[in-house]
Amino acid sequence: MNSETFRKYGYLAVDWVADYLRDVEKYPVLSTSLPGDIRNRLPQNPPEAGESMDRILRDFEEILLPGITHWNHPRFFAYFPANHSGPSILAELLSAGLGVNAMLWQTSPAATELEEAVMDWLRQALQLPEEFRGVIQDTASTSTLCALLCARERCTRFRTNTEGPGGWTGEKPLRIYASRESHSSVEKGVKIAGFGSRNLVTIAVDEAYAMNPMELERCIHRDLEKGFVPCCVVGTVGTTSSTAIDPLKSVGEIARRHNLWFHVDAALAGSAALLPEIRPILDGVESADSLVFNPHKWLFTNFDCSAFFTRHPDILMGTFSILPEYLKTDMDRVVTNYRDWGIQLGRRFRALKLWFVLRYYGLQGLRTRLRDHLAMAQEFSNWVQKSPLFELMAPVPLNTVCFRFNPFRSRGASVPESRLEAWNKELLDKVNASGRIYLTHTKLSERYCMRVSIGQVQTRREHVTEAWQLLQGEASALVYP
């Protein structure tokens, strides 16, 4: 494709995205496709001859678009916000145009040095310890896996890396601690790194779904008595279900006392710590060994962009370093080669979009948007609390409201959990099928509930209001059919 053809279709693609950003509300948030709908419209065999870009773009709209769930719809309240923004999309375009691989400093010094710079900007913006060094990973799953591997290697003096299970010989298993509400990626990482999921000790939570540090202490003592080797604790700031905030100070003190690697998973909530009034959620991070938060979740930066920080870049590099002849460069002693800071060798130029976003909005602009989201979540939470049809299921410290339909609660009636679950599931399916909003569910203390997660760059009060009205309307229809 020559330069002029690229320009022509590039304009068309930009127009498409610009129109999409403007008109996204016309689409149903959750795709109404049924399994196979898209696949059945695609040829079974690859094309032998080339096709025109006009036809490809037409099929993009006609075939694929109906199968898209619109993560950037202002009425997308499911899972977590999947932020993109204009400046971030522009940076992704330029990054794709350059097509550099940021595996070594030499393979694009600007990619490495910009990554060092913007990661330090984020460190400052979140008031993380000065010793923290940052690297962009793809996802929090990967970042947390990196932390677990560092913990494993520090604990076994890098002998697991070389000897495998033999590195642990003569000792009982290493143990990992995380709250019952911690993200599934902790268990996944525990399995991948070879700890074994039965060595993940899930710590009980308090009534706000935050880790109970006394329980942590108790579990560690019990393990020590049994001869296990406590290795790592993951503290969660902003759990996936309800954005509960583990008490980092207490957890950190326990971690220090028992010489555990202390990893903080602030995947969603880290962004909110840009706000001085919210920053206390990170108090205690001074004693952390590593932290992850995802600018692609709530900092208006396209997926994927996971910010991983550690005060031990030496251990991180010691865990991942490989140096075959074909990757050696003259600069290896004086520069950062991010290939040794994670699992993958090849790396996209992801610092660019973070730079675009931080500069375009500035910290002030980011804070304004974050505050708006927090205020909307508080308002939604107030509506729920005042409603006779609904019940708030967890505190709302940040942008996520967990609630359920429980219409007879105010009359003191006790409805079996299974029936409440069925009602709520029915309600959730109804509002999602409307195409107007998209919510997802979770369970808290075994009780089924709906979640509203507010954080899209385009979401305004009117969108949250509409969600609430829709929920009320459908709920009323269930009560008075």
- The C-alpha atoms of residue 243 and residue 452 are separated, in whole angstroms, by 11
Residues 279-318 that bind its own copies (CB under 8 A): 296, 302-304
Residue of 58, 64, 385, 388 that binds its own copies (CB under 8 A): 64
Kindly state whether residue 410 participates in binding its own copies, applying the rule CB under 8 A.
Answer: no
Going by the DSSP 8-state scheme, the letter that residue 77 receives in this structure is -
Site string for its own copies, 413-452 (x = CB under 8 A): ----------------x----------xxxx-------x-
Among 75, 154, 311, 348, binds its own copies (CB under 8 A): 348
Cα–Cα dist 275/259, whole Å: 31
Rounded Cα–Cα distance for residues 125 and 21 (Å): 28
Question: Exactly one of 13, 204, 229, 275 binds its own copies (CB under 8 A); which one?
Answer: 13
Contact 301, 83 (CB under 8 A): yes
The residue (of 35 and 416) whose beta carbon lies closer to its own copies is 35
Distance CA 215, CA 204 (A): 6
Q: Which two tokens stand for residue 466?
A: 């509409």
Total residues interacting with its own copies, rule: CB under 8 A: 160
Q: How far is the CB of 336 from its own copies (least distance, A)?
A: 9
As measured in angstroms, the least distance from the Cβ of 176 to its own copies is 10
Task: Please identify, using beta-carbon distances, which residue of 158 and 249 lies nearer to its own copies.
Answer: 158
Residue 108 token pair: 């694009």
Structure token pair of residue 329? 């460069």
Choose among 200, 73, 98: nearest CA to 144: 200
Strand boundaries in 258-396, DSSP class E: 261-265, 290-293, 306-310, 390-392
Shortest distance in whole angstroms from residue 480 CB to its own copies: 27
Among residues 26, 46, 419, 481, the one that binds its own copies under rule CB under 8 A: 46
Rounded to whole angstroms, the Cα distance separating 248 from 251 reads 5
Torsion 429-431-435-440 (CA) sign: negative
Compare residues 304 and 372 and give the one whose CB is closer to its own copies.
304
Given a contact cutoff of 8 angstroms between Cβ atoms, the answer to whether 454 and 377 are in contact is yes
Nearest CB to its own copies, comparing residues 284 and 401: 401
CA distance linking residue 100 with residue 108, whole number of Å = 7
Interaction with its own copies in 87-116: which residues (CB under 8 A)?
A: 87-90, 92-94, 96-101, 105-111, 113-114, 116
Out of 42, 276, 413, 481, which residue is the one contacting its own copies (CB under 8 A)? 42
Is the CB of 172 or the CB of 222 nearer to its own copies?
Answer: 172
Q: Which of residues 114-153 bind its own copies (CB under 8 A)?
A: 114, 116-117, 120-122, 124-125, 138-142, 145, 149, 152
CB 454 within 8 A of CB 463: no
CB of 407 to its own copies, least distance (A): 23
